[in-house]
Structure 1
Amino acid sequence: MRLPSRFVAVFTAALLAGCSSGPDFERPAKPTATGYTPETLSLRTSAAGGPGGAAQTFVPDKDIPGEWWRLFQSPQLDTLVREAMQANPDVDAAQASLRQARENFYAQQGGLFPTISGNGSGQQQLASPASQGQSGSATIFGVTSASLNISYAPDVFGGVRRQVESKEALAEVQRFQLEATYLSLTANVVVAAINLASLQAQIDATQGIIRILENSLTVVRRQFDLGGASRADVLTQEATLTQTRATLPPLQKQLAQQRNQLMRLVGRSPDRDRGESFDLARLVLPQDLPVSLPSQLVEQRPDVRAAEAQLHSASADIGVAVSNQMPQFTITGALGFTSAGISSLIVPGSGVWSIGLGIAQTLLDGAKLDHQRKAAVAAYEKAAAQYKGTVLSAFQDVANALRALQSDADALRAQVEAERTAAASLRLSEQQYQLGGVSYLTLLNAQQTYQNAVIGRLKAQAARYSDTAALFQALGGGWWNRSDVDPKSMGKPGYFALPPVQEIKLPRAGH
C-alpha cells in the first residue's frame, strides 16, 4: 500500500523543520513595586558617637561591588573571605554539581544526532552429513560479517529539543545555586568575624566590670572594718561580683564555638585555628549602602534566578510529555559485508545494505502518557508557586534589613547615651559613697546599670555591622561583578570520544 502523498509531504516538512511540543517558556513579569515598605523610609539613618556610630545613607540603584566585604576595611577579614572561597568544601560541591549538570546537558544534546555503531562477527563450524542422515566426510564452513549501523530518531515533534532545553535550565539552576553558595559563605564569614569581635569585646568589658566590682568590694570591706558598712553590704557586694563572674564562662563558650564555626567556613578543622582576632573598634561601618529596585532584585538574587531556571525546566518537561503522546519515528540503516570467511570478506558481491523507516504510536496505555503530561503541568504550577514564594522571601529579606539598619542606628545612639549617663552616675555614686553621702544600695544599682549599658552598647554596635552585611546578602552580594564559576565547571560539548581505555585496569600477573 502506498502512503498518501499528503502524508509524505507533511512528514517530510516536519522532519526537516521540526515542531515544538508544549508551551514556549516566558520569563515571569518583573515586579512593578518601587519600594519594600508601605511608607517611604528615610534615606539616612541617625548617627551616634564612637565606633560603628556613623550615619548610613541608602543610595537607590547603586551597584554592589563583587567584593562588598572589603568595605569594612579589614585586611584580616579580606584574607579569611578569600580563604573560604578557595577552601570551603561546600563551594567545591557546588562547582561539581554544576559540572554534573552541564555534562548531563551535553549528553542530552547527543539525542539530536544519529547513532553510528560498528558490528563484526565470525563463525567457523564443522558440519557432519550424518546429522542429515547422509554419509560422507564432515565439512567446515564459516560466516563472517562486518557492518556499520546507523539509527536516528527524528525529533519531529520537538520532544528531544525540549529535553535538551530542560537539561540546560537545570544546569542554570546549579549555576545560580553556586552563586547562592558563594553569597551565603561570604556573608557567614563576615558575620562570624563580627560576632567574634563582639563576643571578645563583651568578655573584655565584663572583665573590666569585674575589676570595678572587686575594687568596690575592697572599699566595702574596709568600711565594714571601720564600722561604716554592714555585713549585709559586704555579702551583697560579694554576690554581685560572683554573679558577674558567672557571666564570663557562657561568653567564652560562645566565643570558642564561634571560632569553630569560622574554621569550618574557611575550610579548616578547629585544631588549625591560627588565632585570628577582630576588633569592633577597628571595623569601618560602610556609610553609602545600595538599595536596588524590586525589578532589579529579581535579577540579582541567585535564589530567585535558580527558581526561575527551575520553572523553565518544568515548562520544557511539559513539552517532553506532550511529545511522548505523538507518533515516534525512527530511521535505521546498515552498510557492510558478509561472506564465508575473513579472506573473502571484501570482495565484489559481498556488500550488503539496508534502510528502514519505523513509526510507532501508542494507542492504549491506560491513559499513562496523559497522566504523565498532567503531572508535568502540575509540576510547572508547583514551580511557579515556588518562584513567587522565593521572590516574596527576597523582598522580605531586603525589607527586614532596611528596617533593622534604621532601628540599629537609633538603638546604638540610645545605648551610647545610656552608657555615658551610667558611667557618670557610677563615678558620682562611688565618690558619694566613700564620703558617706549615699547608701550602698545606690552604689550597687549604679554598678549594675553601667554593666548593662556597656554590654548593650557593644551588642548594638555589632548589630549595625551584622545587619549591614545582611543587606548586602539580601541584595544579591554583587556576584555579577565577580567570576565565581570555574571554567572547568562549564565543560564543552563533544561530538566524538573514544572509550576511556586509560581508566581500565587489567589484572596483574599472579593476581
Structure 2
Amino acid sequence: MLAGCTVGPNFQPDRMKVPAGFKEAAEEKPATPEQIARTDKEMTEWWASFNDPILTRLVEDAIKGNYDLQEAGQRILAERALRDKAASAWYPQMDANAGGGDVRYSINIDNWPLRPGNPANQPEASMLTYGMSATWEIDVFGRIRRAVEAHERSVETSIEGRRALLMMLLSELANDYMLLRVTQLQIQIATDNIKVAKDSFDLANRLYLEGVGNTLQTAQAQAELDSQIAAREPLKTHVSQISHAISVLTGKMPGELEDELKVVRPLPKVPEFPATMPSIVIANRPDIRAAEKQYAMATAEVGVAVADLYPHFVIPLNFNPNASAMYQAFQANAMSWQFLMMASLPLMHGGKYTATIRAAQAAAEASRLHYRQTVLNGFKEVEDAMAAWHDDIEYAEQLHKASEDSALARDRARRLYAAGLIGFLDVLTAERTTLDAQNHEALSRLERLRDAVNLYTAIGAGWRGVALTSSSLPVSLQTQNAWAQAFQQ
C-alpha cells in the first residue's frame, strides 16, 4: 500500500532509433553459428585472438594487480555502503543513554515553582538518569524509497565506471605491447641497415683504394654509417620506456619486466574481422550503460524532491526516567516518557521546494540528452574503427610492396655503383628510401594491430567475465562490540 503512494516519475529507459547494423561492417552474408560463437568469445577475451601468450599473461596480471582498477573497486564498495546508509532510514532509529551528577538551578526567577522532590527549592540537586530515545519515519510518499533508488543507480554507475576503466587499461596495455614489438622490429631494421651501410662503406673504401672512387664518396659512406648507428639508439630508449609503462600497468615496479620484455618476439597475429556485428553489441559499452544509469539516478532524485512537498510522518519515542538517588531511579514516580505520532507539512518556504524540483527535472533531462550523445559517440567510434580496419589492410599491403621494391632498387644501385655506372649519391638515396619504406611498413603493421584493439574497445568488449575484486581494510564487525554485531549499527 505504501509503495503505491510513492510520488515522482518512474524511470523509463530512453529508446533511441538506431540502425540494425553498422555501415562499415560490410557483412555480405549471414554469419554461421561457429562464427557467431567465435565473435561472442572475442567479446569476453579479445586479447586471446592475437595468439600471443605474453600479451595474455600481461592482461591477466593487469586485471589482478593494477592499482587504479583496485581503487575503482573500492569506490564501488563505498557506494554500496552509502546505499545501505540511505536504506537504514526505513528502520527505527534507537539510542540509549545514562548519566548522573550534580546540577544547580537558578532561583533568580519570580514565582519559581517548587520542584517535585525538593520542597525547600534548593538550587543544588543530585540527578541520575537513564533511558532511550527512538524515532521512526513512515515512508508514506516514498522519499526514502526514491533516495535508496538513487543510491542504487549510483552503485550501478560506479560499476560501469570500473568496467570503462578496465577497458581503457586493457586497451592501453595492448597498444603499449604492440608498440614494444614494432619498436623492436624497427631496431632490427636499423641493425640490418647498419650492416648495409657498413658494406657500402667498405665498397666505397675499396673502390677508392683501387683508384676508382674518391674521398668524397668514402666520407659520404662514413657519414651514412654513423647516422644509421645513431638512429638506432633512441629506439632502444623507447623500448625501455615502454617496458616501464607496461610494468606499472600490471602493478609492478618500473623495470621489473624489462628483462623479459626486451627479448625479441614476433609481432602478434592480426585477428580476423568479427564475423557478425549487429548494432546491439554497442550496448556492451560501459560509458553508454553508465549514462543510462545516471539518467535513472537523476529520475529518482526528482522523486526525492517531489516527496518533500508531501507530509512527513514520524513516530518519536522517548523513555527517560530520572531521580536523585539510585533506589528512586526505578520507582514509578521517576518514570518519564512520551509516545507520539507527528506529521509535518511544508506550507510557505518562498518557492524553495518547487525550485528544487525544477532543478532535479532539468538535471534528469540533461542526463537523458547526455545518454543520447553518448550513444551517438559510441556509434561514431565503432564506425571509425571499422573504416580504419578495412582501409589499413590495403595500406599495409602497398607499403609492404614498396618495401620490397625499394630493397630491390637498393641492391641494384650497389651493383651499378660497384661497376662504376652511377655515383655514390644514388646508392645513398636508395638506402635511405629503403629504410623509410621498411619503417613505414613496420608502422603500418602497428596500425593494423591497433585497429583491432580499437575496434574491440569501441564495441565494449573485454569487461565481461572479470569479477569485482573485493578488498578492504582489516576491520570487521566480528572484531567490534556486541551491540554492533547484534543490531548491525
TM bucket by the smaller chain? 0.7 to 0.9
- The answer as to whether partners of 2:302 and 2:357 remain within 8 angstroms in 1 is yes
Shift of 1:361: 2.7
Paired letter, 1:316 = A
Give distance in 2, aligned partners of 1:237 and 1:31.
65
CA contact (8 A) 1:58 1:288 kept: no
Alpha-carbon distance in 2 for matches of 1:363, 1:189: 59
1:486 and 2:469 are equivalent in the alignment: yes
Q: List aligned pairs for 1:288-367, cutoff 5 A.
A: 289=274, 291-298=276-283, 300-335=284-319, 337-348=321-332, 350-367=334-351
1:65-144 pair list within 5 angstroms: 65=42, 66-123=44-101, 142-144=126-128
Q: Match for residue 39 of structure 2?
A: 62
Q: Secondary structure at the match of 1:275?
A: helix
Paired residues in the alignment total: 468
Q: Which residue of 2 aligns with 1:506?
A: none
Q: Structure 1 residues 353, 68: CA separation in 2 closer, same or farther (over 3 Å shift)?
A: same
Compare 439-448 and 97-106 and name the one that shifted more. 439-448
* 1:149-164 mapped onto 2 (5 Å cutoff): 149-164=133-148
Report SS of the residue matched to 1:102. helix
**Distance change (3 Å), C-alpha of 1:110 and 1:220:** same
CA contact (8 A) 2:205 2:218 kept: yes
Deviation at 1:206, TM superposition (A): 0.8
Offset of 1:127 from its aligned partner?
10
Which stretch of the first structure deviates more once superposed, 28-37 or 180-189? 28-37
What is the rounded CA distance, in whole Å, between the counterparts of 2:448 and 2:121 in structure 1?
A: 102
5+ residue gaps in structure 1?
1-12, 45-56, 501-511
Do 2:25 and 2:277's aligned partners in 1 also have CA atoms closer than 8 Å? Answer: no
Deviations 1:269-312 (A, max 9, x none): 224344222656352322253554222312x1111111111111
- Distance 1:39-1:141 versus aligned 2 partners, 3 A rule: closer
Change in Cα spacing, 1:431 to 1:136, as seen in structure 2 (3 Å) is closer
CA distance change for structure 1 residues 292 and 120 in 2, over 3 Å: closer, same or farther?
Answer: farther
Give the 3 Å change call, closer, same or farther, for CA 34–357 of structure 1 in structure 2: same
Deviation string for 1:433-452 (max 9, x for gaps)? 21233343332332222212
Deviations 1:398-438 (A, max 9, x none): 11221121122112211222222222222222223212333
**What is the TM-score of this pair, normalised by structure 2?**
0.85
Distance across 2 between alignment mates of 1:471 and 1:484: 23
In the alignment, which residue of structure 1 is the partner of 2:219?
A: 235
Partners of 2:304 and 2:349 in 1: CA distance: 17
Correspondence 1:401 to 2:376: no
Query: For the Cα contact (< 8 Å) 1:60–1:292, is it kept in 2?
Result: no
What aligned pairs does 1:206-225 form with structure 2 within 5 A after superposition? 206-225=190-209
The RMSD of aligned alpha carbons is 3.5
Match of 2:13 among 27, 32, 36: 27
Of 162-171 and 233-242, more deviation after overlay is shown by 233-242
**Helix, strand or coil for the counterpart of 2:138?**
coil
Contact 2:286 2:460 in 1 (8 A): yes
The code of the aligned residue for 1:176 comes to: E
* Equivalent residue, structure 2, for 1:454: 438
Q: Deviations over 1:156-193 (max 9, x none)?
A: 22111111111110111111111112211122111111
Contact 1:31–1:295 at 8 Å: present in 2 too? no
Name the counterpart of 1:432: 416
- The one-letter code of the counterpart of 1:63 is D
Identity among equivalent pairs (%): 24
